[in-house]
Structure 1
Amino acid sequence: MDDSARQRRWPAYTMAVLFLGYAAGKAVLAVQHRLGFPGGPPVSAAETARYARDFMAPATAQWLATASGVVGACLALATVTRLGRRVPRTLMLPVLAGMFLAVASGAGIMMLDGFVGIGVGWRWYHGLLGLVVIGLQAAMIRSYLRATRRRVGSSPGALGPAALVAVLPALGSIVDDRGRATGQTRSGASVNVASFHCPPRCARRTCSSVGGTT
């Protein structure tokens, strides 16, 4: 049983919106055959040509980035939807960890260049955005972990250690009372059985052996 009823969903929804915005911006740049980041510093034509010569075409790189943004949005939604919960937790956690590292590395560069300055061209508000994104991702993953953890005694009909400690004395009292009542009932029943089965003409020895009387 999970804690999905108490899960905070807004970090995942916010991350999904940011991922989709990232994907849309990258798609625009892919159509324009340009490198860069939506809303980020411009990339010169010389750098674009060098990237195309050494790595791949700018449009191909941007389309791949667009796909990664869509995948990131789907993963964010998977942490808070019933369909996503069908994915095994052991498989979901490494994927979320990889996504966190990838996004945090990019956000870290934005923060470093925006606050300190390393020559890339990010501004201070880009650094703030990177800090917010890292915080949102951490909150999303933390919420998923809390919602999918298995607690001792959370299965239906099960009792946890604290509940057992509280219930055991009451159970002992009930068992003791029922034991006494059962003993009295059996004693009375044996006498009744003896008086029922022993006719008036039966021997006194037989009655005493069955009814327990002398």
Structure 2
Amino acid sequence: MSAMPAKEAAGRWRPARRVAAVGLPWAWPAYLSVLGQLIYVVEKGYYATQGRLGIPGGPLVSAPQNAGTSDVALTQWTLALLGLFSAALALAAVRPWGGLVPRPLLLTGLWATGALAAVSQIHVIREVLSGTGGWSPWAAVQGSVGLCLWMAMAWIFTRRPGRTATAAANTGRDAE
């Protein structure tokens, strides 16, 4: 096989789904989720620069717990990176470039992130109600609102029909 047909074939490649950006009436949960994730990233970065563990609004982490973690800054920067990843995941659900990600993979990521957030939020709410965990009520409210936004975004993306037409149908070119 010569290099020229391979180049031509690469030039004709198009993603399997062509999606338009989701209109603001349906996309606002995703944009607010992105904003919440970016605030989380900044908070984690701030804690990483101070070399301490914790979550703003959460209980103070004791010095022995802090000393028990091998690299506190690396832990916090890793969590900040996960926050950036989830912000990108939320944007992929409503922006046209999200069509480059296979729909089942994006759905799995959205719902898995929502499930993990729900488990964490149940823990926070339980500790706020019992008064033993050191969490502020504001953290419970903020986390619950964030979780509701994330789940609304995942639900909207799930209900939104995915386009499974081939690249030939999307571009009007004949399949060869």
Match of 2:137 among 124, 129, 133: 124
Larger Rg: 1
CA RMSD of aligned residues (A): 2.5
Tell me the distance in 2 between the aligned counterparts of 1:136 and 1:115. 22
Counterpart-to-counterpart distance in 2, 1:27 and 1:5: 32
Q: Determine if the alignment matches structure 1 residue 31 to structure 2 residue 44.
A: no
Whether 2:22 is the aligned partner of 1:12: answer no
Listed one character per residue, the Cα deviations across residues 34-65 of structure 1 (whole Å, up to 9, x for unaligned) are: 00002322212122112x2xxx3111110100
Q: Please report how far the alpha carbon of residue 15 of structure 1 lies from its aligned counterpart in structure 2 after TM superposition.
A: 0.4
The one-letter code of the counterpart of 2:28 is W
Q: Which has the higher contact order (CA 8 A, sep 6+)?
A: 2
Aligned to 2:161: 148
Residue of structure 1 in register with 2:103 after alignment: 89
Give 2:113's match in structure 1, choosing from 99, 114, 121: 99
In 2: Cα distance, 1:39 partner to 1:128 partner: 11
Q: How many residues align?
A: 148
The one-letter code matched in structure 1 to 2:144 is L
Among the aligned pairs, what percent are the same residue? 33
CA distance in 1, matches of 2:24, 2:73: 43
When residues 92 and 42 of structure 1 are mapped into structure 2, their CA distance, relative to the original with a 3 A threshold, is: same
TM-score normalised by L of structure 2: 0.75
Partner of 2:78: 64
Secondary structure, in 3 states, of the residue corresponding to 2:46? helix
What is the rounded CA distance, in whole Å, between the counterparts of 1:108 and 1:63 in structure 2?
25
Q: TM-score, normalization: structure 1?
A: 0.62
Confirm or deny: 8 A CA contact 1:113 1:123 kept in the other structure. Answer: no
Structure 1: which 4+ aligned runs deviate by more than 6 Å?
none
Q: Assess, with a 3 A threshold, how the Cα gap between structure 1 residues 14 and 5 changes in structure 2: closer, same or farther.
A: closer
Aligned AA for 2:128? Answer: G
In the TM superposition, what whole-angstrom CA distance separates every residue of 1:106-156 from its partner, at most 9, and x where no partner exists? Answer: 222221111233x32112222222221221111000111122346xxxx9x
Q: Say which SS state the counterpart of residue 160 (structure 2) adopts.
A: helix
Q: Which runs of 5+ in 2 are unaligned?
A: 1-17, 164-168, 170-176
Find the counterpart in structure 2 of residue 43 from structure 1. 61
